[in-house]
Amino acid sequence: MVVLQIQQSNGFVSSVSRARTNRGRRRASNTVCVQTQKIMEKISVGGEAGGAGGAYSYNALKRLDNIWSNICTQPTGPQETQQIVSRVSGFSQDYGMGNNLVGTFDIVVCGGTLGIFLATALCAKGLRVAVVERNAIKGRDQEWNISRKEMKELIEVGVLTEDEIEEVISAKFNPNRCGFENLGDIWVEDILNLGVSPAKLVETVKRRFVSLGGVILEDCSLSSIVIYDDLAVMQLSKGDTLSSRLVIDAMGNFSPILKQIKRGRKPDGMCLVVGSCAHGFKENSSSDVIYSSSSVTKVADSNVQLFWEAFPAGSGPLDRTTYMFTYTEPQSTSPSLEDLLEEYWKLMPKYQGVSLDELEILRVVYGIFPTYRNSSYDSIYGS
């Protein structure tokens, strides 16, 4: 019996410590975060989704900053974590599965944002597949950018048709710049040059999955997995039970399985990303795949190197998405997402050659991506 971990290249909550309290005090006294709150509270928040970068509200920003703050002050080394996956010798039938058995599947995919794509490809191969998702399986309004070559792979594996791909593409742009401040630019074509609507894309794939016989369990979290000699038996938050021959973890960076595998260890690094989608850009035909600033910028109590990404949005010809991101070690002096956003409102207009007054901010986006020096996965049961 196998549990597979699916992670994006680009995965924790710990106890509150004294250091965290100090950090909170530092922030309150040293950093004045006013513009972000003012801007965000003016925007009506719709189309939020459960996946990474799917929340747009000021309250959700505060919640993510709290998680990030806890990571920063977490001690290094293994921590006590909830045991989601356990191993029991013997056959499942010897233990019984209770009265709430939803079904027995070839594969259960846990996490339905990108998980639904994988599940549909497996269903198209004739396997009996279920998807378990904590929220609704739903894509966010904020576009994903992607290359056509990557989209075509979804046709090859039976997830989408050529026509469906055209229907979900909301923006196309060329050329695309990789810029290095003071060192020059490299222009490329057809790299990350499509904006796709995650809302439409996920809905289309969800329909295909169901039409192929896939089973969806939404609004219920995976609580535990017991691995027997013949089957994995999953317990869900609402009391349902599922069993399968293979479990695929597509629960993203905050997967409880990943947390168990990593023994609750603090990440070695964090990629912090903030940005916005705004209306009012007159120059809006090309994109920046990446633009790196060569100088060091002081944000709150930290020196950081900033990177940018910008591309036209599908909502209108003057609408453009701009991301600013940085890599940092999780420590008490690291900037919060709100600190970064305060800096963003100052630097983004300069980088994009506009004034903030000319822009209507349509949406504010943010996310955190943990990184580990040792990215290999240990055995989940310990050595």
Min dist. Cβ of residue 339 to ligand FAD (A): 16
Nearer Cβ to ligand FAD, position 8 or 161? 8
The residues that bridge with 109 in the sheet, in sequence order, are 131, 248
The interface mask with ligand FAD, positions 78-117, x = CB under 6 A, is --------------------------------xxxxxx--
* Contact assessment for residue 121 and residue 213, using Cβ atoms and an 8 Å cutoff: no
Residues 225-254 that bind ligand FAD (CB under 6 A): 250-253
First to last CA, the chain: 17
256: helix, coil or strand?
Answer: helix
- For residues 19 and 146, which CB has a smaller minimum distance to ligand FAD in the complex? 146
Rounded Cα distance between 197 and 182, Å, is 35
Build a one-symbol-per-residue string for 333-372: x at contacts with ligand FAD by CB under 6 A, - elsewhere: --------------------------------x-x-----
312 binds ligand FAD (CB under 6 A): no
How would DSSP label each residue in 294-359?
EEEEEETTEEEEEEEEEEE-TT-TTEEEEEEEEEE--STTSPPHHHHHHHHHHHHHHHHT--GGG-
For residues 143 and 320, what is the distance between their CA atoms, to the nearest angstrom?
11
The only residue of 222, 348, 354, 362 in contact with ligand FAD, by rule CB under 6 A: 222
Nearer to ligand FAD by Cβ, of 20 and 168: the residue is 168
Binding to ligand FAD (CB under 6 A) within 116-155 occurs at 132-135, 144-146
Question: In angstroms, what is the minimal distance from the CB of 224 to ligand FAD?
Answer: 10
| Spatial distance between the Cα atoms of 61 and 38, rounded to a whole number of angstroms | 13
Taking the C-alpha atoms of residue 338 and residue 344, their distance in angstroms, rounded to an integer, is 9
Interface with ligand FAD (CB under 6 A): 8, 10, 50-53, 110-115, 132-135, 144-146, 221-222, 250-253, 256, 273, 365, 367
